[in-house]
Amino acid sequence: MITASELGLAVCRSCGTVTEHPGTRCEVCGAMVHTRIPRSLQKVWAYWIAGVLLYIPGNIFPIMITTTLGNESGSTIIGGVITLLHHHSYSVAIVVLVASVLVPVSKFIVIALIALSIQFRWPINTHHRHIAHKAVEFIGRWSMIDVFVVAALAALIQLGSVIAIYPGEAIGFFALSVALTMLSAQSLDPRLMWDHAPEEAHHHG
Amino acid sequence: MVDLDQVRACLACDALWRIPPQEEGDRHVCKRCGEVIDERKGESLDAALAANIAAAILTLVAVSFPFLSVSRAGLENKISVIDAVNVLWLSDMAFLSIACGLLILLIPVLRVCLLVIVLIGAQMKGRADRTFASIYRFARELEPWAMAEIFLVGVIVSLVKVGSLADIGVGPSFWALCALVGMLSFVQVTQSSHTTWAGLRGHL
């Protein structure tokens, strides 16, 4: 088994064309072709830190404010889940909990573990890291659910003084946190995981 | 020296393999990491084009018709994605307005229109044009940011969330979104980007 980079070749991450000239544009699709994404881990950490920091206010402040006949009440993401549980809407409570809490938190942990394992050459099974990275890239965008819920309700429920719904301070922090974590996962070059993988990690099946 | 037309590199692990030209139904998986290197399905770009035109129409219906309606104490209100972006903007919720405008309106519409253009371009065989390839690359970069299907789940959650406060119903756009999600899954299952790239290279 030989890698493209060992022969001085590079593959276009967009269209898969192999070139002898890394650092130039792909002759098929025009994307920049690099042996590895330049400064991949630096970008991963920059987006990761920003994403984690914004996730904190995203959970502390209310994400949605409801005004019913003059009474104003704000609810945080977790508060919204608890309200749903009180209304016995268990399946929806689980959807929101998974999308807004479980997925973002596990994303932070998985991305950090993969990045650290590359930097410090931790002997974590590369197939497992590979699958975890793909899962994180696939599922991360679903964390936007709560943002869309608030947007739909804020736009729709404007029935004067009877009932009105507004977005809370948390919404911007939360949405940006999700977007930054998506960028963090995208910046991670999976080839870095395999560069120091032991040879016996061959795939069977 | 390596003949570049004979080798393919795995995008996930960079392993280099000698792979013969692929045909309909072929699927080549990297022996090192298990990632798909080339998978040819739906060699007919006509079918891909038809599916994407259908997706484009459904997307336009989904964003321009009401997705939710609400009534309480004699007041009624219904809203489309375009209305929502507009209302949020006018009500000083600029951030939400821009986020929704991009993620569920502009990017999904733009992406599906670009795909239609690319597939028309790929049909002009022998005219492997870098412009179409660049457009396709851009459309694929937009993919994670086109969140129509996530919005659909958001609408369902909204229904439950305020169901007790007001009388909430779904509009035609809700069903268009459901159909769109079905259509996008259909495209996912029956088409592959490798086939489109082959078409754009003039190799089909």
> Count of A–B CB contacts within 8 Å?
221
* Contact (Cβ atoms closer than 8 angstroms) between residue B120 and residue B160: no
Selection from A58, A82, A141 nearest residue B151 by Cα: A141
* Contact (Cβ atoms closer than 8 angstroms) between residue A53 and residue A174: no
First CA to last CA distance, chain A: 17
> Which pLDDT score, from 0 to 100, does residue B116 have?
94
CB contact under 8 A, A148 and B83: no
Mean pLDDT of B83-96: 89
> Which pLDDT score, from 0 to 100, does residue B172 have?
93
CB contact under 8 A, B37 and A4: no
Kindly state the tokens that stand for A9: 């070749």
Selection from A43, A64, A13 nearest residue B14 by Cα: A13
Exposed/middle/buried for residue B74 (C-beta within 10 Å: 0-12, 13-18, 19+): exposed
The three-state (H, E, C) secondary structure of A21-77, written as one string: CCCCECCCCCCECCCCCCCHHHHHHHHHHHHHHHHHHHHHCCCEEEEECCEEEEECH
Q: Is A69 in the B-facing interface, judged by CB distances under 8 Å?
A: no
Split at pLDDT 50, 70, 90, the class of B125 is low
pLDDT string in tens for chain A (205-residue length): 899 999 999 999 999 999 999 999 999 999 999 999 999 999 999 999 999 999 999 999 999 998 888 788 899 999 999 988 998 889 889 999 999 999 999 999 999 999 999 999 988 899 999 999 999 999 999 999 999 999 999 988 876 667 888 899 999 999 999 999 999 999 999 999 999 876 654 544 3
> Which pLDDT score, from 0 to 100, does residue A149 have?
93
CB contact under 8 A, B31 and A203: yes
Q: What is the ipTM of this complex?
A: 0.91
3 state DSSP class of B28: strand
DSSP assignment letter at B41: -
Q: Read off the pLDDT of residues B167-200 as tens digits, 9 standing for 90 and up.
A: 888 999 999 999 999 999 998 888 889 988 988 8
> Which pLDDT score, from 0 to 100, does residue B143 have?
95
Question: Closest partner residue to B158 among A66, A149, A201, by Cβ?
Answer: A149
> Which pLDDT score, from 0 to 100, does residue B127 have?
60
pLDDT, greater one: A162 or B140: B140
- Which strand (E) or helix (H) includes residue B201? helix B193-201
Question: Closest partner residue to A144 among B33, B84, B147, by Cβ?
Answer: B147
* Contact (Cβ atoms closer than 8 angstroms) between residue A63 and residue A172: no
Residue B136: closest CA among chain A residues belongs to which residue? Answer: A29
> Which pLDDT score, from 0 to 100, does residue B123 have?
79
CB contact under 8 A, A4 and B9: yes
Alpha helix ranges (H) inside B65-167: 81-90, 94-100, 107-123, 130-142, 148-161
Treating both helix axes as pointing N-terminal to C-terminal, what angle do B148-161 and A77-86 enclose, rounded to 10 degrees?
50
Split at pLDDT 50, 70, 90, the class of B204 is low
How many angstroms separate the CA of residue B57 from the nearest CA in chain A? 22
Interface of A with B in 149-178 (CB under 8 A): 149-160, 162-163, 165-167, 171-172, 175
| Residue from B3, B104, B161 to probe the interface with A (highest A Cβ count within 10 Å) | B161
Mean pLDDT of B100-122: 93
Q: Model-level pTM?
A: 0.92
> Which pLDDT score, from 0 to 100, does residue A68 have?
84
Residue A86: closest CA among chain B residues belongs to which residue? Answer: B161
DSSP assignment letter at A71: E
| Residue from B4, B96, B142 to probe the interface with A (highest A Cβ count within 10 Å) | B96
Split at pLDDT 50, 70, 90, the class of B128 is low
